[in-house]
Amino acid sequence: MIIIADGGSTKTNWCLLNESGRKIYFNTEGYNPYFSTKEYIITSLQTNLPTHLELDNVTEVNYYGAGCSTDNNVAIVQQAMQVVFPKAKINIGHDLLAACRALLGIQPGFTAILGTGTNTCLYDGQKITLNIDSLGYFLGDEGSGAYIGKRILRDYMRGYMPANLLQAFKETYKLSHADIFDNLYNKPLPNRFCASFSKFIYVQTDSPEYTNKVVTESFTDFFNNLVIHYPNYKDYSLNCIGSVGYSFREILSEVANKFEMGVGKIIRSPIDELVHYHLVLSPSNK
C-alpha cells in the first residue's frame, strides 16, 4: 500500500492507494516542523489516523509538507513518519514541490501557495529553480491566511473595523486583548491562530467595502513583495494552491490582472492532482 500526503500548517490531506488500486482519502491536522516536534507528530498521527489503517502494510509514504525545506526539518518529519509507518520507505518533499507537481505536472511555470502561509517559485517541469523566501508569518507570508488574520486582529484591537463587524467579531470569538496576546506569544501554533481569522472575512457579507479592501491589499502586498521580483514574471501565469487563494480567487485574479499577469489554475487542495502525478506523470513510472 502506498500513501501520498499533502501537509499544510493547518491540515494534511492523505490518499492511500491499496493493493487493488482503490483510493482512500482522509485528513489529519497539519504538521509544520517549525512548530511541531517529532514527538507531537507521532502522537497526533497515532491518535488521528483511521483506526482501520494497517500501518505495517504501508510500503511507501510520499509526504509533502509545509516547512520541509531544511535538512533538520525534513529529519523531524521523516523520523516521525518512520515510527508511525515502520515498514515503509519514507519520501519527504516540500509542499511547494507538491504544488508545482499538482498545478503544472511536468510543464514549467510559476506556482504559488496561499493558505495558512505563503510560498512562491519558478519550476522547470522537474524541480524548483527559483524561490524567494516568504519569511514566514512573523516577517512575511504576504497574502496568506496568517497575514490577513493579523490585519483583522489589528483592526479589531484598534477599533478600525466597521462597527457592525467589530460587534460580530466580538460575539463570534469572545476574545479579550489579553486572550489574543496569550495565543500569539504563549501558546503553540500562533500562525494557525492568526490564519483562523481569515474565515471571518470570508463569511461576512455586511461590509464588502471593508472585507474586499483587506483581501485586495493583502494580495497586492503579495505581488509587490514577492511575485514582481521574479524575472520576467509577466511571462508566466499565476497558478495557485491553497484555501485562501481559492476562497478569494476572484479578488486574486483581479489583482493579478492589475499586475499584468495572466491567471492559470487556482485550486484549493493538490491531493487529487498529486495522486495523478505519482500514478501517471512521475519519471519513476517511465
Choose among 101, 76, 20: nearest CA to 2: 20
> Which 8-state DSSP code applies to residue 113?
E
For the beta sheet containing 23-29, the strands, ordered from the edge strand earlier in sequence to the opposite edge, are 23-29, 11-17, 2-7, 60-65, 89-94
Give pLDDT tens digits for 47-56. Answer: 988 888 787 8
Domain boundaries, the chain: 2-98+271-285
Q: What is the model's pTM?
A: 0.82
> DSSP string of 85-101?
STTSEEEEEEHHHHHHH
Cell numbers 491562530 label which residue? 193
In contact, 4 and 17? CB cutoff 8 Å: yes
Instruction: Please tell me the distance from the alpha carbon of residue 193 to that of residue 180, in angstroms, as a whole number.
Output: 9
CATH, domain 2-98+271-285, list 1.20.1070.10, 3.60.20.30, 3.30.420.40, 3.40.50.300: 3.30.420.40
Instruction: Please tell me the distance from the alpha carbon of residue 77 to that of residue 90, in angstroms, as a whole number.
Output: 10
What angle do helix axes 208-225 and 249-258 make, rounded to 10 degrees?
50
The pLDDT score that the predictor gives to residue 51 is 82
The pLDDT score that the predictor gives to residue 114 is 94
Choose among 96, 196, 104: nearest CA to 144: 196
The pLDDT score that the predictor gives to residue 215 is 94
pLDDT lower than 50: segments of the chain = none
**Cell numbers for 104:** 503544472
> How deeply is 34 buried, as exposed, middle or buried, from its count of CB atoms within 10 A (0-12, 13-18, 19+)?
middle
**Cell numbers for 51:** 483506526
* Rounded (5°) CA angle 34-37-38: 125
Chain-centre distance of CA 90, in angstroms?
Answer: 21
Instruction: Please tell me the distance from the alpha carbon of residue 267 to that of residue 17, in angstroms, as a whole number.
Output: 22
